[in-house]
């Protein structure tokens, strides 16, 4: 199996970049990722550290062309080297009240994230940043869009698959920003940021014609939307799910809308930033009955 080390990390999705590795459709790959703070654990240094959010890549897939999609299956996600949460000035839901940098350095032990006082939280490793490369340069951190990006989808755990549109030849996939655990919204600014080793499989889906990311997690089918204002972004996420149910599952529009109200959830993936990702989630139990 091929391996891509975290020395091949980037801070910008650049359509002119050279691939770090080229693989075939259906090939499996071990990918190492940095945490968002690139291994820094000294609280004094963390307080002065800007968050660049490195991602490992880009990964080129033979035959991938605009109009296609990449399916990325996460076969395993293994956190490494402890974790850090950071209350950062200017970020978070309560940024006007919590104005000081405040790092919390945590250990990983026996399937738990252990906070300094001994409080243990069950680990739920997820990959926060997964993206193809758009036709224009885009930062790996804090941005999201039709290409994926810094989506902070906590449901993107081992056993999940995400589908991303291809915009440039090869797709030029990148991933990183693993969280040992994170809550919806990451309300204080970050998750439990950790480095990781991810076992993935990348499959080319020819002519899929996706307009934005979709994911299949162990419990949900998810469509992702984004926008500068949460209200319109949430409405678009619901609209995208209704359109999926009508176009691809054959439901009448009012029936699709009703099903979303009964078996769906619309949630904020990440804290308030210039672009906020929103997810509309539909129970797989319901989806499985639609054929």
Q: What is the pLDDT of residues 235-272, one digit of tens each?
A: 999 999 999 999 999 999 999 999 999 999 999 887 77
| pLDDT for residue 229 | 85
Counting residues of the chain whose pLDDT is more than 90, the rounded percentage is: 82
Which residues, other chains included, contact 112 with Cβ-Cβ below 8 Å and sequence gap of 6+? 120, 121, 122, 123
- Going through 110-219 in order, the beta strands assigned E by DSSP cover 112-114, 120-122, 126-131, 138-139, 144-145, 148-150, 161-165, 173-179, 193-205, 214-216
Question: What pLDDT band is residue 274 in, cutting at 50, 70 and 90?
Answer: confident
pTM score: 0.95
Which residues, other chains included, contact 140 with Cβ-Cβ below 8 Å and sequence gap of 6+? 10, 11, 12, 13, 52, 53, 54, 55, 129, 131, 149, 150, 174, 176, 177
Query: Rounded to whole angstroms, how far apart are CA atoms 248 and 244?
Result: 5
Q: Give the residue-averaged pLDDT of 173-199.
A: 96
| pLDDT for residue 281 | 97
φ and ψ at residue 164, rounded to 5 degrees: -130, 135
Q: Is 136 helix (H, G, I), strand (E, B) or coil?
A: coil
- pLDDT, tens only, 59-87: 999 999 999 999 999 999 999 999 999 99
Q: Give the residue-averaged pLDDT of 264-286.
A: 88
| pLDDT for residue 58 | 98
| pLDDT for residue 27 | 98
| pLDDT for residue 48 | 73
| pLDDT for residue 92 | 87
Domain at 2-209: CATH code: 2.60.120.580
Query: Rounded to whole angstroms, how far apart are CA atoms 248 and 67?
Result: 17
| pLDDT for residue 86 | 92
Mean pLDDT of the chain: 94
Judged against a pLDDT cut of 80, whether residue 51 lies above it is answered with: no
Give, in order, the Cα–Cα distances in Å from 229 to each of 211, 222, 236, 268: 19, 20, 11, 11
φ and ψ at residue 232, rounded to 5 degrees: -60, -35
Do 132 and 147 form a contact (C-beta atoms < 8 A)? yes
Which residues, other chains included, contact 285 with Cβ-Cβ below 8 Å and sequence gap of 6+? 263
**Can you give the residue ranges of every domain in the chain?**
2-209, 220-290
Question: What pLDDT band is residue 276 in, cutting at 50, 70 and 90?
Answer: confident
Question: What pLDDT band is residue 53 in, cutting at 50, 70 and 90?
Answer: confident
Judged against a pLDDT cut of 90, whether residue 7 lies above it is answered with: yes
2-209 and 220-290: identical CATH topology: no
Query: Rounded to whole angstroms, how far apart are CA atoms 88 and 72?
Result: 31
Q: Is 105 helix (H, G, I), strand (E, B) or coil?
A: strand
Fold of the 220-290 domain: Endonuclease I-creI (3.10.28)
């Amino acid at each position: 199996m091929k391996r891509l080390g975290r020395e091949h990390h980037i801070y910008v999705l650049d359509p002119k970049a050279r691939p770090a590795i080229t693989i075939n459709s259906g090939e499996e790959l071990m990918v190492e990722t940095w945490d968002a703070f690139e291994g820094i654990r000294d609280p004094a240094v963390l307080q002065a550290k800007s968050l660049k959010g490195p991602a490992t890549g880009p990964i080129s897939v033979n035959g991938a062309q605009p109009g296609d999609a990449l399916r990325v299956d996460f076969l395993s996600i293994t956190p490494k080297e402890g974790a850090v949460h950071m209350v950062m000035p200017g970020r978070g839901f309560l940024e006007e009240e919590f104005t000081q940098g405040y790092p919390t350095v945590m250990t990983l032990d026996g399937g738990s994230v252990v906070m300094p006082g001994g409080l243990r939280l069950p680990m739920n490793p997820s990959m926060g940043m997964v993206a193809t490369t758009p036709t224009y340069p885009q930062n790996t951190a804090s941005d999201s869009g039709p290409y994926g990006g810094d989506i902070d989808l906590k449901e993107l755990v081992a056993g999940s698959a995400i589908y991303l549109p291809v915009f440039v030849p090869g797709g030029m996939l990148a991933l990183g920003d693993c969280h040992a655990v994170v809550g919806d919204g990451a309300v204080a600014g970050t998750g439990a940021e950790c480095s990781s080793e991810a076992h993935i499989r990348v499959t080319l889906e020819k002519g899929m014609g996706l307009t934005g990311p979709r994911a299949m997690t162990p419990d949900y089918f998810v469509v992702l939307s984004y926008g500068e204002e949460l209200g319109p972004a949430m409405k678009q996420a619901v609209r995208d799910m209704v359109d999926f149910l009508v176009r691809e599952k054959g439901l009448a529009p009012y029936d699709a809308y009703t099903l979303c109200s009964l078996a769906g959830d619309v949630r904020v993936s990440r804290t308030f930033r210039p672009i906020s990702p929103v997810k509309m989630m539909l129970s797989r139990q319901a989806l499985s009955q639609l054929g």
